[in-house]
Each structure stands twice: as C-alpha cells, then as structure tokens.
Structure 1
C-alpha cells in the first residue's frame, strides 16, 4: 500500500509538472521573441534561445509606448477602484449580514438578481448617463461605480460576515459600541482574508480591463496600459520582438501579484464555495 501510494504521488507530480511546462510555453516564446533581433524573429528553423539577446528591446518598447504615463493612469484607475470596492462592498455586506431593516431579504434578492444581468445590457445606458453628466474622457465613469458596490463581492463578504458569531455583536453592544464602531473595530479585522481576496481579484480585473477605458477614454493623455498596448500593436504590427516586449512589461505586475498572493485565490475559492 505504501509503495502504491508513492507511485500514485509520483504520477500526479509528473502530470502536474508536464501541464505546468505546457502552460509556460507561450510565456517562454514571448520572452525569447522579445529578446530577438527583428531580422531573426520569423527565421526558419526558429531560434528557441537567441544567440545574442537584445535586452534593449524592452527599453525601446517602454519609450515608444510612453509607458510611464500609461502606468500612472492605470495605477490611478486600479487603486481608486480597489478602494471604492472595498469600502462599498464591506459596508453593504455588513448591513445585509448583521443589521435588521424592513425588506432586507427582498433587497438582497434584488442584489443577487443583478449578478445575472450581462454588462452589455447596461453598457449603452451607462454611456448615455456618463455623457449627460460630462464625464467622458475622464476617470469618473470607471471609478465612481465602484463606490456603489459590486454584487458578487458584496455576496462574498456577506457570507463571510454570516460566519462570525453574533455574540461578538452583543458583547460590543453591552460595552457601548454602536453599529459603526462594531463594524470598524470588530468586524473588519475579522474579514481581512476576504478583503484581501477582493483586492487581488479587483486588481487582476481592472489592470487588464480594456473595454471600459476604450469606451470612456478618448485622449492619449488619459489612456491606460491596455489601451496603450492596443495602440502600440496597431503601429508595430510587424515588429514582433517589440510587441512581445511591451506585452511582457504590461503583464509583469499581474504575474508578480499572482505568484506572491496565490494563496488568497485559494482562500477566496474556499470562502465563496467555488470548488472544482
């Protein structure tokens, strides 16, 4: 039985290693292409490892796509949405989980129903409304909605709040704490795992968001990294080495966040009940 256990474990690890290698092949091709000279990118047979790596391709890509302006705009967009999402979702979820008010069940059901509405349905009304208030070509249409909550994250945080014993609320009330102080002093420290999960999910989604900035941002000074990469691709469609270098630069923050905080993805799946 012990030998069989070790054999099965070896088979599992071998399969995982093989799958990992297969999944890493596109990134390896991107890296090797980014380090090649433009004259040998499409050469046959292909060079898996460039003989003379051109690290200057990354510098050239940074300069041509005006990277630091795009990075500033992307950080403003991403960090503002993260802050708005954390504030709004935690407060709304606390109200649904711990407070008593008329129609709580009905309004929570309405919130859940909004999760099944495709974003394409609200896209045009949202654009008309943002144009009416004069927010086109600003970050407001991308940031302000985050301060009104995200249904899935509200549901996720509410479920986490429901697991906290109500005796903590009663003890805090006896000590003279009001609802807001209970929320700020007691509940928020206990829901740090789910808040970290929301932060990472939001970062990954907003950093790679293309459709939202494409709809609302028009001038070059307001573009984010996703739009900048699209413009760079359009103007350098034949320079594959520079295009791969720019893509790796834009993708690097997401890879760093994933490798350093991947345990929060697992916790988020466990908390939300999403299992394979």
Structure 2
C-alpha cells in the first residue's frame, strides 16, 4: 500500500498570513506615498528657504540646499518686521485658543449632561451654523465691529471667535457623551456639585479631545487671512498671514525673501502638532473622528 503524501498542516495558515502581510505592506506603501505627496510642498519650501539667491531659480525645488545659508532669513528680518507679525499672531491665536477651551468646555458640558428646556433645538441650531460659509458673515461682522469702534484693534480679531465655535462645541460634546454617566452619578452621591464634576472628572478625562481642539483652533487662527485682512489696516495689529500677503506684493520677484517668510510662518504650526500629536491620535482612536 503506497503511503499518502503528507501536506504541511499549517500551509493554509501560512498562506493566509503571507496574504495579510502583503495587504498590510500595500496599505503602508500607499500611506507613505500619500504622506510624501502631502508634506513635499512644505519640505521643498523649507529647503528652498536655505538656498542662496544665486541658485534659487537655477535649481529644482527639491535639489538640496548645498551649501545652506542663513542670509535669506537675515535679509527678511532686516527688511521686514516679521518678529512683530509673529508676536501679534501668537497673542491673537493664544488668546482665542484659551478662550475657546474654556467656553467650549462649558457649553459642551451643558449640551451633553445638563437638562434644560430647549436644549436639543438650541444644539441643532449651533450645528446648523456650521453649514454657513465664513464669507457670508464677514460683512455683518465688519459692520458690528465698525459700529463698536473696534476696527484695527486686537479686540476685533479676538472677540468674534474667543467664545467658541459650533464645531468645537460639537466635538467636545460628542466626547463628553462617551464618558460613562455612572462616574458622574457616583460623584453626585458623594456630594459633588456640577462645577466639581466638570473640574475633577470631565476635564481630566477629556484631555485628548481638548488638546485636539486647542491644536485645531490655534492652526485655524494662525492661518486665518480674510477676517484679519478686513479688520486691520496698520502694522501695529497685523498678523503673519496679512504680513506675508503684503510681503508678496512688495517683494513679488524676490523669492529669497518670500520663502523664508513662509518657512517662519510654518514652523510654529509644526511645533504645535508635534507637541500634541499623542493626544490627537488618542482622541481619534476614542471618538472615531475622521
């Protein structure tokens, strides 16, 4: 009797494992390509900012800056008040971010946990405001600030956004709803009030989403152009986006001035993201935020 040939018992499992590894490798390859395409413009901007003026136009954008030079940044600071624009933007963005964290947390907790008449219609009214384009509100907002004599001041840049946005309230409210209500009920049994629960339970458990909100708010405020362009007219209150726009009109053909300015405006945003990236990833994993 001829013995039957034995096949490996785990051949099917090994084949499935190899297939899964191939799929994972393909996904990582596609993600790497997408990431490279996304960050390539920023990397080329940083690279070109260090190129000498003589080689800036004679080489490709991705050609390494060899030798690298700081003369472009020196020329930028000597010919233009970039430090003032950076300080103005940091003050405005920092104040708006802090205000949104405070007031958005209060509003989100009220919508998520407190029971009061008209809560749902009011919340959905806030959500409906997310669908209104910013350009629609610019003229009414300008007229209001002009009537209050706030044009060309820090207050005109800060007041419209410091008390929170519909998106921020929605984001934090959805996160608050993922926190078990039993924690709050147990705290109330122990005699804790609303403020104590918010301060000692809700906020500590919500650090990831608050870090995400802070990052989004700071980046959006830093990159804002239309409203600062309308609300300010002097260099005393101009932010970095308005300053670079004016710089582009003044030095349109001098890329050795424009590229360092763009790099200087970009670096604080990269630092903010690197500082809070762990919290952002955690909030995405916990809330399913896309």
Q: Same fold per TM (> 0.5)?
A: yes
Aligned mates of 2:136, 2:41 — CA distance in 1 = 34
Over 3 Å counting, the alpha-carbon distance change for 1:243 and 1:180 in structure 2 is: same
Over 3 Å counting, the alpha-carbon distance change for 1:5 and 1:105 in structure 2 is: closer
- Indicate conservation of the 8 Å contact 1:74/1:207, yes or no: yes
Q: Relative contact order (alpha carbons < 8 A, sep ≥ 6): 1 or 2 greater? A: 1
Structure 1 residues 51-70: aligned runs within 5 Å: 51-70=66-85
| SS of equivalent residue, structure 1 residue 220 | coil
Cα RMSD for the two superposed structures = 2.2
Give structure 1 stretches of 5+ with no counterpart: none
Residue in structure 2 matching 1:192, options 201, 207, 211: 207
- Cα deviation for residue 187 of structure 1 reads 1.5
TM-score normalized with structure 1 length: 0.90
- Indicate conservation of the 8 Å contact 2:47/2:61, yes or no: no
Name 1:129's counterpart in structure 2: 144
Name 2:265's counterpart in structure 1: 250
- Cα deviation for residue 45 of structure 1 reads 7.7
CA radius of gyration, larger in = 2
Aligned mates of 1:248, 1:68 — CA distance in 2 = 13
Give structure 2 stretches of 5+ with no counterpart: 1-14
Aligned mates of 1:19, 1:186 — CA distance in 2 = 39
Aligned mates of 1:149, 1:45 — CA distance in 2 = 44
Tell me whether 233-242 or 59-68 shows the greater mean CA deviation: 59-68
Aligned mates of 1:180, 1:102 — CA distance in 2 = 20
Name 2:226's counterpart in structure 1: 211
Aligned mates of 1:50, 1:221 — CA distance in 2 = 35
Over 3 Å counting, the alpha-carbon distance change for 1:196 and 1:234 in structure 2 is: same
Name 2:154's counterpart in structure 1: 139
Aligned mates of 1:141, 1:46 — CA distance in 2 = 39
- Indicate conservation of the 8 Å contact 1:36/1:50, yes or no: yes
- Indicate conservation of the 8 Å contact 1:93/1:158, yes or no: yes
Name 1:79's counterpart in structure 2: 94
Name 2:246's counterpart in structure 1: 231
